[in-house]
Amino acid sequence: MDAVLNAITSLNEGFLFNLQLFGITLLLAIPLGLVIALGSMSKFLPLKWLTKTFVWIIRGTPLMLQLFVVLYGPGILFDIPMSNRFLAAEVAFVINYACYFSEIYRGGIESIPKGQYEAGAVLGMTRTQVFFKVVLLQVVKRITPAMGNEVITLTKDTSLARVIGVTEIIMSAERFTKQGLIWPLFSTGLYFLVMNGILTVLLSRIEKKMDYFKA
Amino acid sequence: MAVLEVKGIKKNFDELQVLKGIDFSLEKGEALALIGASGSGKTTLLRCLNFLETPTRGQIYVNEKLIYDASNPSMLSEREIRRNRLHFGLVFQSFNLFPQYTALQNLTLAKELLARETPEYKKNRKDVLDQIKTEGEALLASVGLSDKLDFYPHQLSGGQQQRVAIARALMLQPDILCFDEPTSALDPELTGEVLRVIRGLAEKRTTMVIVTHEMKFARDVSDQVLFMDKGVVVERGTPADVFEHPQEERTKQFLERYFEE
């Protein structure tokens, strides 16, 4: 009985890392993604190309590799070793997800008909007003399904942090496998299933909230 | 006194010259119909008036004040343009209502944002907003939509949406109200209600520039007709002159083709 309790406690502690990584990544990558999206749509070409190249590199290489680069890079390049593995995972996840989000935002923003901007403009609105008062909510509505997909992928990706030694849930469970106990490893799936079940409900509520208009 | 005077407007898109020097003027309370085939430059001219396009050459005067001069780049700052375009209202072919706002909110949004820049707003926020709302309700009633105030655009027919769009343009009390083919995106049975609203505005002597393919409507409603072809004004005059006694060969051909159908 003690062994069971011990395993469950260990899984819970591991999952807390997954949850933290998930929460912080969303919180930071959502706004950072918008900054990157605006950069990639900039009319100032050097900024545009710099941003696009950055997004290409981040989307074009494995997140697993990026985790190693963030962990070892600062030590190798600037002689400042990254001491905190969780922080390294956090940085890699925020950058990676911000780039994916930025492409979703860009697609959403560019899908809004030109007429919406023009209608706002001829009514004397500033560009900022048109963006925040007219365009933004329409973009949010259009990108919610795609963002939902990314969010659900993120819950599972958090397990990748184990490759740089963050003891998230699967790494915690594997310790028991080595002791001949296989069920903790398999039950980690339940944690993800429950979490994504909750997220799916939340996401569909958000979509419903915006059902009152068509865009 | 001319409300609007347009002098030598030219517009190039790269190598292509779409407007080749347009001049006209409009008196207060007059309705001007712009007719011509697709690609003749009518819509571009209208978009130039609303600063959605920047004329390559020429001047625009409103109430005898120079508001645009292509040779003076300082008139192209966003601030200047934003202020000057308020002289004009524009009704689009595709309505362009804001989908997430109700009919009434579509009317009040821009006015509320403009009111925020005034000192009264800081003192009397509630009164200012109430006043704007009352104006909006009255305008929607005047286009026959008092029962649709809280409807969202997708809940309205095309004709109703376009009437909301007209009311929205009137909300800022422009000196000149422009229409860009206001019925072209509508099913034939819905054009009547929109044309009736515009006719009503003409009877109230609203100063208007109307780009239209509805020739009978143009003839009935306008005081002045400009026929455009390939970026120039080919013929101008009263509706009786242009429609009954066209002088130019190109006008005759255009009208013949139109009335044959």
pLDDT tens, residue by residue, A90-146:
999 999 999 999 999 999 999 999 999 999 999 999 989 999 999 999 999 999 999
Interchain CB distance below 8 Å, A115 and B114: no
Backbone angles phi, psi at B10, to 5 degrees: -125, 145
Q: Which two tokens stand for residue A31?
A: 């706004």
CB contact under 8 A, B154 and A119: no
CB contact under 8 A, B109 and A123: yes
Neighbours of A208 (CB within 10 A): 9
Lowest model confidence (mean pLDDT) among A121-135, A192-206, B1-15, B92-106: B1-15
| Domain residue spans of chain A | 2-212
Closest chain A CA to residue B49: A122
Task: Give the global pTM.
Answer: 0.87
Q: Which of B77, B17, B29, B38 is nearest to B221 (CA)?
A: B29
B87 reaches A (C-beta below 8 A): no
Residue A159: closest CA among A181, A184, A183, A191: A191
Q: A2-212 has which CATH code? A: 1.10.3720.10
Using CA atoms, how far apart are residues A111 and A138, in angstroms rounded to an integer?
10
Residues of chain B with Cβ-Cβ distance to A136 below 8 Å are: none
Residue B260 makes CB contacts below 8 A (sequence gap 6+) with none
| Reported ipTM | 0.92
| pLDDT of the residue at B253 | 87
Instruction: Quote the CA–CA distance of B179 and B43 in Å, as a whole number.
Output: 9
Best of B100, B105, B132, B139 to substitute, by most chain A Cβ atoms within 10 angstroms, is B100
A122's torsion region: left (phi>0), alpha (psi -120 to 50) or beta?
alpha
Which residues of A fall within a CB distance of 8 Å from B162? none
Q: Are strands B2-13 and B57-62 parallel, antiparallel or unpaired?
A: antiparallel
Min Cα distance A125 → chain B (Å) is 7
- Confidence at residue A139, expressed as pLDDT on a 0 to 100 scale: 94
Stretch B85-100: mean pLDDT: 93
Which pLDDT score, from 0 to 100, does residue B261 have? 61
Neighbouring residues of B197: CB distance < 8 A, sequence distance ≥ 6: B143, B144, B163, B166
Q: Decide if pLDDT at B224 tops 80.
A: yes
Count, residues in chain B: 261
Q: Which residues of A touch B82 (CB under 8 A)?
A: 121, 124, 126
What count of residues does chain A have?
215
Q: Copy the structure tokens of residue B143.
A: 């286009």
pLDDT digits (tens, 9 = 90+) for A9-22: 888 888 999 999 99
Rg value, chain A, Cα: 21
Report d(CA B108, CA B242) in Å as an integer. Answer: 39
B110 with A215: Cβ contact below 8 A: no
Per-residue DSSP letters for chain B?
Answer: -EEEEEEEEEEEETTEEEEEEEEEEEETT-EEEEE--TTSSHHHHHHHHTTSS--SEEEEEETTEEEEETT-GGGGSHHHHHHHGGGEEEE-TT----TTS-HHHHHHHHHHHHHTTSHHHHH-HHHHHHHHHHHHHHHHHHTT-GGGTT--GGGS-HHHHHHHHHHHHHHT--SEEEEESTTTTS-HHHHHHHHHHHHHHHHTT--EEEE-S-HHHHHHH-SEEEEEETTEEEEEE-HIIIIIS--SHHHHHHHHHHHH-
Q: Does residue A6 carry a pLDDT above 90?
A: no
Q: Which residues pair with B12 in a beta bridge?
A: B17
Mean pLDDT across the stretch A68-93? 87
User: How far off is chain A from B91, nearest CA to CA, in Å?
Assistant: 9
Query: Is the pLDDT confidence value at B207 over 80?
Result: yes
**Which range, B121-135, B139-153, B243-257, has the best average confidence (pLDDT)?**
B139-153
Range ranked top by mean pLDDT from B115-119, B192-196, B207-211: B207-211
Residue of A114, A122, A128 to mutate for B, most B C-beta atoms under 10 A: A122
Contact check, Cβ <8 Å, A138/B168: no
User: Is residue A62 helix, strand or coil?
Assistant: coil
* CB contact (8 A) between residue B113 and residue A129: yes
| pLDDT in the model for residue B77 | 80
The DSSP result for B175-189, as a single string, is SEEEEESTTTTS-HH
Q: What is the DSSP letter of A126?
A: -
Higher pLDDT, B118 or A141: A141
Instruction: Mean pLDDT check: name the lowest of A64-68, A97-101, A185-189.
Output: A185-189
Q: Do A108 and A143 form a contact (C-beta atoms < 8 A)?
A: yes
Distance CA B152, CA A139 (A): 17
Residues from chain A contacting residue B153 (CB–CB below 8 Å): 213-214
Give residue A145's Cα distance to chain centre. Answer: 14
Mean pLDDT across A66-82: 85
**Number of A:B CB contacts under 8 A?**
67
| Nearest chain B residue (CA) to A211 | B100
Note whether A126 contacts B168, CB cutoff 8 Å.
no
> What is the distance between the alpha carbons of residues B88 and B90, in angstroms, rounded to a whole number?
7
- For residue B186, CA distances in Å to A25, B36, B192, B194 come to 47, 19, 10, 9
Band the pLDDT of B256: cuts 50, 70, 90: confident
Q: What pLDDT band is residue B177 in, cutting at 50, 70 and 90? A: very high
Contact B117/A at CB under 8 A: no
The pLDDT, as a whole number, for residue A1 is 67
- Region at B71 (left for phi over 0; alpha for psi -120 to 50; beta for the rest): alpha
User: Any CB–CB contact under 8 A between B52 and chain A?
Assistant: yes
Q: B1 and chain A: CB distance < 8 Å anywhere?
A: no
Q: Which of the residue ranges A78-82, B6-10, B138-142 would you say has the lowest mean pLDDT?
A: A78-82
Average model confidence (pLDDT) for chain B? Answer: 90
